[in-house]
Amino acid sequence: MSTTVRVNLLKPAECRHQGVVSKEFAIKVSVWGGGALLSLLLVIGLFNSQAAKRQLAASKSAWAEMEPRYERVLLMQSELSARRTIQKHLKGWSESRVNWNEKLTMLGSLVPLDVQLTKLVVRGEFVEEIHEGLPDKDGVRKKTVDYCRQFAVRMDGKAGGDRADEVVVQFVNMLRSAPSFEGTLESVKLQGLQRTTTHDGEDATVRVFGIEGLSPMRKL
């Protein structure tokens, strides 16, 4: 029968025990690891900060170079908008005008032989047309304003003859229905028709009258 003898030649201080890591060692590893991680984060943060500063400096330099061009573009846009507004107003002004020289020439062909016009005044004025839209969800109606021109025509005159009243009424109806005044006068009214006498005081069949006409609103 054989006998095995094991001899431990290591000193007690040289012995290493395999088992659970000691608490003190775990704390040291955690502290070292945390410090290393914090240092790494600081380095990364510093690098990102420097990169951001370089990028900001580059952006400022690029903006300093581009700003004058940008300001010129804004100025050009403003001038273009102003020109378009002026062109729009000029177009509206042109389209809203009436060639009264032509209209008054045509008026001469409508005046009956027994009618004599003693005064003719054409007056134009600007009018604001306010429109209310549909209410929104809060019940508020949005208002829009259209700027228009409207013309008023005043004619004073006199008519003679046995049919003076009839002739004046006929003249008013001709103004209302004449194709040459279609779209120019939408309202023609006889404002007065009175009997008068001649300058020598003799009683004569003479009627003085006044006629007023209004054009439709002509949008600017």
pLDDT in tens, 110-158: 999 999 999 999 998 888 777 777 777 777 777 777 788 889 999 999 9
Closest CA to 155 of 186, 199, 123, 184: 123
DSSP 138: T
Same domain, 178 and 81: no
Sites in the chain below the pLDDT cut of 70: 1-26, 28-29, 31, 33, 197-204
Assess if residue 153 is contained within a domain: yes
- The CA distance from 131 to 142, in Å, is 8
Q: In terms of domains, do 85 and 190 share one? A: no
Q: Which of 39, 73, 96 is the last residue of a domain?
A: 96
pLDDT value at residue 7: 58
Q: Identify the pLDDT of residue 29.
A: 63
Among 96, 129, 150, the domain-final residue is 96
What would the two tokens of residue 200 be? 């020598």
CA distance 207 to 191: 13
Q: What is the pLDDT of residue 59?
A: 80
127 bridge partner residues: 148
Number of structural domains in the chain: 2
CA distances in angstroms from 54 to 49, 50, 61, 98, listed in the order given: 9, 6, 11, 67
Regarding pTM above 0.75, the answer is no
